[in-house]
Structure 1
Amino acid sequence: MSALACLAAAAPAAHAETGFTTRFVDITAADGVKLKAMVMEPRTPDPHPAAVLISAWGGGCTQNVMPARDLAARGYVVVAYGARGFGESAGEVDTAGPKDVADVTTVLDWTTANTATDPERIGVAGVSYGAGIGVIAAAFDNRIRSVVSLSGWFDLVHSLYGNQTRRGLVALVLYTSGWGHGRLSPETDWMLRTYFDPTPDPVDREVINEWARVRSPSRYLDRLNENRPALLIGHTWSETVFPPDQMVELYEDYTGPKRIDLVPGEHASAESGGLLGLPSETWDTALRWFDATVAGTDTSILGEEPVVLRARPGTHDPETYPDWRAAEGEPQHLFPGPGPDDGVIGDAPRPGWRVEIDASRDTIATGGVPLATYSFEALTGEPPRAWLSGIDREHGAVWTSPEFPDGLQVRGSVDLHLTVIPPGETGTIVAYLYDVDSTGTGRLINYVPLSWTDAIPGAEMPVDLRFSPTAYDIPADGRLALVIDTADPLFIDWNSGGGQVVLTSPETDPSRVDVPVRRGEESAR
């Protein structure tokens, strides 16, 4: 019997909804810091399931008031608190560090001692910052039987330095909003300021990495697997803060009861409506998850397939799969090659070509604006667009495929292999995938950066780039385009010396794009 089936079999009878009261309290952390909490309690005296809601970055104890209200109306004791350093809570921001994790245990201690909580039925939920804290806390406190992680992270080092490239614009947003809405600790302030250093000291870089490792659920995976809380992961395809590849990794590596829902949108866009009291499929799923794995009242979600995807662009019905491997498409091998003007993408290797791009300036190809571009896509269904003819060919290279008469359903991670000849020891390239229509307008499917800091100038450097997983439907007669340039406002690049970056495809090692394609009967909607 599966872990989810065991949970369903153990479920007690459903309870009726009840009225509830609301009060505000101070919960004293182990170091004396006062955490402000909003407590909602059913009026009936019987032991109740409990839900602890942790605020997101910059939020206070009322940030989760609408989900808290919905949970309390279903018979939960709800304790929603502001993480230290934010909102009405005292102290300084610890950025999901040991103090934040200890605070969760303190809140659980207070909840079980001061409310009619059943200590065997406790769940923790959070968005973004609260999600990461909740998952780490579940590795240390086995009273947490269920975790809802919405727009969270698994590996903070990967988020900060994926492919050796810093996500500077996102970090700037977090730094300024952290000071605008909270009190950063001296350690957090130093880490974020040092992260922006254009020529960081390698020792400082390792200090930041270790700081990030301590704040990564990946570091505590063994403990999490031992405690086995039921884990719900909600995430978006176009995250600029915590790309979805690491959450797929968490889903794959976690051995307890689990479910992952991946939908179009940006960081926290899928759950924002629910925080405002608007209809929210994401929060509806979270409520059902808690009902099944904490309260044990409605276990129907445990009988559903646990991998749920909604494809881009537009609004699609959900696709469900028994596991991640079943959701991934089969690789279709495509090969960039030379063309009469731009490059072309064909179905046979085309080695021997060479393209030079100047690393002194960006092109109009871009990953978008953090927290804005893909939030707009979540509302409209339209990905960001670029007119590919407008890309400056001195600073960017373009390859385009023939039309796909039946379209192409991309499911999973696209892999790109090519050879780069760098002009200097350091440098950056950014690769973009576009869905191109008959007018030459491209809708952005995905993007990924790659930086190097110790290359041999003028020497061939084979590189492998893996784009974050996605579910994207290229329509009938659409084309696929690959664009490569050397900069993007999202990233702190390493092209300070400029020069000509050479992209090439040696005879012995042809460049290739592997596109995971949904095939056969699965392709029919």
Structure 2
Amino acid sequence: MRRTGTTAGCALSALALATALAPPAHASSSSLTFETIPGSGDVELSAISVTPETDGPHPLLVLPAAWSTHASWFTGAASKLAYESGYQVVAYTPRGFYDSGGEVEVAGPEDTADASAVIDWALDNTDADPETIGMGGISYGAGISLLTSASDERVDAVGAMSGWTDLEASLYPNETINFQAVELLLLAGELTGTPGETLEEARDHYREGDVEPVLEMAPERSAATKIDQINANDPAVMLAHPYNDGIFPVEQIPEFYEELETDKRMMLSPGDHSTPELFGAAGLPNPVWEDLTRWFDHHLKGEDNGIDAEDPVQLRENSKNGEWRTYPDWPSATADTETRYLEEPKRSMSHWQPTGGMSEEPAPGWGYSIDAGTGTTAHSGTILASGALTQFLDLPTSVSLPLVNRDRAGVWAGPEYPDGATVSGTPSVELEVTPTAEETSLFFYLYATTAYGTGELLTHKPYSLRDATPGEPTTVEVDLQSVVRDVAPGHHLSLVVDTDDPRYTGDSERGERVEISSPEDGSAALTVPLG
């Protein structure tokens, strides 16, 4: 690994995360109790149980805690759900973390068996209604909830916030290691938990540059591979996710949502991993938790609260003061698409460094070569921090396009939008690349740019070529991360492609080169979804 500076940053982030999410002081309430629940294989799980003050039976909510967090972090939300909404709530710390027994199994079969065991315990030891059972959680808890809904048909409703559906796409997007995410998860897990054999093997091989064990364990731990079981069990599923999630990239959520055949709802909003719903876990006012409560109220308690009559796709524009927009389905969020063909980067009166245009007509037959293995001022930001800055302060990751080194990157600028525009959906890029090495990583950045060249990052995506033939052109098609973001009047879109980004472990080495080209029999292009 060649990211020592970033590793230190991840370490500080993990320490801050572990400190912020450490168990709060025990709440004093006669109806809140701290329990030890037998999980699968005689593993004891630390839990809190909150019982409503009204007579039962009560609909049951089971809340697995997030990675490296304790069940008592849900004290506020659990109390609110119990006292204000009448749920029997059981929140528990997944195996291997804090004072729960066993070892961390990364949402494996042991974890879904634990979730079912917690349901069993609640039905045997509380006045929970066996006919109305829901599960929900943030991050790790979201993943466990979705996976349990595939294996346990008793789960009637699920709320998954900042979770994943495809573990490989999260940790190894387009065959590129999501370095900051992997390092943060590993360090946080080691600080607060006891890694199991699966996690230890994956970690040790990863440290040696071998990701195969991660890829082997990913399918079993991905709800996307269990979509048929989930559809067969028919739980009502609500997905909530931030656009800028640095650990579990957002685009997997709409893809999974479209495959669901159950009652479903999807909320995408500004923020980074877990930040849109974090304060709601403490019982504070929060739009995601408010909608989640309405979701459970309708599907578990039968309340006619109107949520079933609303458009199920709820998208908030990716800015601090962004407005919510609603659609009947994910494709409807894109009203139109605009294809811009990439022209050969050249110097001009308006661009002192070589910059390509974006035209309405194909522009085939050019090539532009860049140095590989060295980054530019274009980058995707830092996980947890960058998305949170967009959410709370409207400060997206930015760059001065004139300062992006054209020896190390290709840069293209589109025409201005006189009346503004809204990028709404999943942008994509298609071009041809010719590397001088068998393995090369590329990083794609799409910016909303002012007339002075200041670009605000809209979306990005890594892409790595594996076993390429040096000197032989390869067509690359990349879907960028999904987003809804307004482009101000007079601004334009800019595309940057380089070969290094601090968030990822790339495979481009110094001394190598990559030619970006538009083939004679095709044309390099950016496709933009517009709302």
Q: CA offset at residue 20 of structure 1? A: 7.0
Distance in 1 separating the partners of 2:524 and 2:489? 26
Match in the other structure for 2:502:
489
Distance 1:417 1:404 in 2: 22
Does structure 1 residue 174 correspond to structure 2 residue 185?
yes
Residues 1:212 and 2:218 aligned together: yes
Q: Give the Å deviation of 1:466.
A: 0.7
User: Among 243, 248, 273, which residue is 2:249 paired with?
Assistant: 243
* Matched letter for residue 82 of structure 1: T
Cα deviation, 1:475-521, whole Å, max 9, x if unaligned, reads 11101000010010111111136411100112211101111112xxx
Residue number in structure 2 paired with 1:100: 111
> In 1, Cα distance between the equivalents of 2:181 and 2:446?
21
- How far apart are residue 45 of structure 1 and its match? 3.1
Report the TM-score, using the length of structure 2 for normalisation.
0.91
Query: Residue 459 of structure 1: SS of its match in structure 2?
Result: coil
> Deviation of residue 381 (structure 1)?
2.1
Give the whole-Å Cα distance in 1 for the aligned partners of 2:304 and 2:36: 33
Write the distance in 2 (CA, Å) between the matches of 1:94 and 1:477.
51
Q: Distance in 1 between matches of 2:147 and 2:185?
A: 20
Partner of 1:386: 399
Correspondence for 2:40 among 1, 17, 30: 30
Which one of 141, 144, 151 corresponds to residue 155 of structure 2? 144
Count of residue pairs the alignment pairs up:
495
Within the alignment, does 1:471 sit opposite 2:477 as a pair? no
- Which of 323, 334, 343 aligns to 1:317? It is 323
Distance 1:256 1:107, change over 3 A: same
Query: Which amino acid is 1:169 matched to?
Result: Q
Alignment of 1:50 with 2:60, yes or no, is yes
**Distance in 2 between the 1:123 and 1:457 partners?**
53
The match for 1:3 is none
Q: Kindly provide the CA deviation profile for residues 22-61 of structure 1, in whole angstroms up to 9, marking residues without a partner as x.
A: 1111111131111011001123332111111110000112
CA distance in 2, matches of 1:77, 1:405: 54
Cα separation, partners in 2 of 1:92 and 1:286, compared to 1, 3 Å:
same
1:168 alignment partner AA: F
2:226 partner letter: Y
Q: Deviation at 1:221?
A: 1.1
Quick check: 2:429–2:527 contact (8 Å CA) kept in 1? yes
Listed as ranges, the gaps of 5+ residues in structure 2 are: 1-28, 349-353
Note if 1:337 corresponds to 2:343: yes
Distance 1:72 1:168 in 2: 39
Query: For the residues of structure 2 that align with 1:496 and 1:214, how far apart are their CA atoms?
Result: 34
SS at match of 2:477: strand
Q: For residue 372 of structure 1, what is the aligned residue in structure 2?
A: 385
What is the aligned counterpart of 2:518 among 505, 512, 519?
505
Within 5 A, what are the aligned runs for 1:13-412?
A: 21-73=31-83, 74-198=85-209, 200=210, 205=212, 207-338=213-344, 339=346, 340=348, 341-412=354-425
Which of 107-116 and 331-340 deviates more? Answer: 331-340
Cα deviation code 1:65-111 (max 9, x no counterpart)? 11101101121111011001112211111110011000011000000
- In the alignment, the residues of structure 1 paired with residue 436 and residue 207 of structure 2 have an alpha-carbon distance, to the nearest angstrom, of 24
TM-score by length of 1: 0.92
Q: Work out whether residues 329 and 410 of structure 1, in 8 Å CA contact, stay in contact via their aligned partners in 2.
A: no
SS in 2 for 1:382: coil
Larger mean CA deviation between 435-444 and 320-329 belongs to: 320-329
Q: 1:4 — aligned with what?
A: none
Gaps of 5+ in 1: 1-18, 519-525
* C-alpha contact (below 8 Å) 1:291/1:297 kept by paired residues: yes
8 Å contact 2:371–2:510 — kept in the other structure? no
CA distance in 1, matches of 2:500, 2:383: 16
SS in structure 2 at match of 1:274: helix
Name which of structure 1's ranges 472-481 and 157-166 shifts more when overlaid on structure 2. Answer: 157-166
Distance 2:385 2:332 in 1: 32
How many Å separate the matches in 2 of 1:434 and 1:307? Answer: 25
Distance 2:484 2:105 in 1: 35
3-state SS of 2:266 partner: strand
Q: Which residue of 2 aligns with 1:11?
A: none
Does residue 439 in structure 1 map to residue 445 in structure 2? no
What is the CA-CA distance between 1:406 and the residue it aligns to?
1.2
1:171 and 1:192 in contact (8 A); partners too: no
Shift of 1:298: 4.3
Q: Distance in 1 between matches of 2:89 and 2:360?
A: 56
> 2: distance between equivalents of 1:294 and 1:432?
43
Aligned to 2:9: none
Instruction: Please tell me the root mean square deviation across aligned C-alpha atoms, in Å.
Output: 1.4
